[in-house]
Amino acid sequence: MKNLNTILIIVLIIAVGVLYAFHFTGKAKTESKNEMQTTENTPAVKDANIAYINIDTLLVQMDMYTDLQTSLEKKRKDLESTFQGKVNTFQKNVADLQNKVNKGLLTRAEAEERNQQLGADQQQLEALNNTYTQQLQEEGAVSQRKVIDFIMEYLKEYNADKNINFVFSYTFGGNLLYMNNAFDITNDILKGVNEKYQAEKPAVKK
């Protein structure tokens, strides 16, 4: 029965750590709304043919991103609940075996057979944890690509009458260390993508 303590330790680690790393997966860096630029008119980008978007601010207030993050968080909680149920069953079986062994209710052969089965159950739990983790990673990555693609498609519409050659993505700590606020089109794009998303929401969610 020397494997029982090892199994108990491992299963407790699994129970505590399951999917924890993805609790904050894919979430946007938050910034206060008061950091939004309040320019009333579209920046004068036509002279320089350049503009930029504060992507941190945009994502925090972008309806599509919020909806996808909410959906992903719900999926994470559902998977975590399912997994935790299986962990609880496993722990109960371990405790039951330990109790029977302590009371001498099992032969050595029966106890060893039960112990081997618990070892197999543990491996299944570890495999399931990896499956759930990979599933959340993939869905999070797809959600991010959907958001970026949506923004890029809207920029084509936005630029139809502005002749902008380059639109940069600004994020704190990124490659762009300084940009003149006159070329910040974050507000315009935020308003536009939210309106576009709400109008196309049934189709976008498919």
Please report which helix (H) or strand (E) contains residue 159, including its range: none
Given this model, what pLDDT does residue 48 score?
A: 59
Over 80: is that where the pLDDT of 6 sits?
Answer: no
- Quote the Cα angle for 54-197-56, to 5°: 15
CA–CA distance, 108 with 113 (Å, rounded to integer)? 9
| Residue 185, burial from CB neighbour count under 10 angstroms (0-12, 13-18, 19+) | buried
Given this model, what pLDDT does residue 201 score?
A: 83
Given this model, what pLDDT does residue 49 score?
A: 87
**Helices of type H across the chain:** 2-17, 55-60, 63-103, 108-158, 186-204
Over 60: is that where the pLDDT of 8 sits?
Answer: no
Contact predicate 158/192, CB 8 Å: yes
DSSP lists the bridge partners of residue 133 as none
| Token pair of 148 as six digits | 């970026």
pLDDT tens across 162-177, in order? Answer: 989 999 999 988 888 8
Lowest mean pLDDT across 13-27, 119-133, 192-206: 13-27
Quote the mean pLDDT of the chain. Answer: 82
Q: Can you tell me the mean pLDDT for 92-116?
A: 95
Over 90: is that where the pLDDT of 96 sits?
Answer: yes
The verdict on domain 2-6+45-204 having CATH code 3.40.50.2300 is: no
Name the pTM for this structure: 0.71
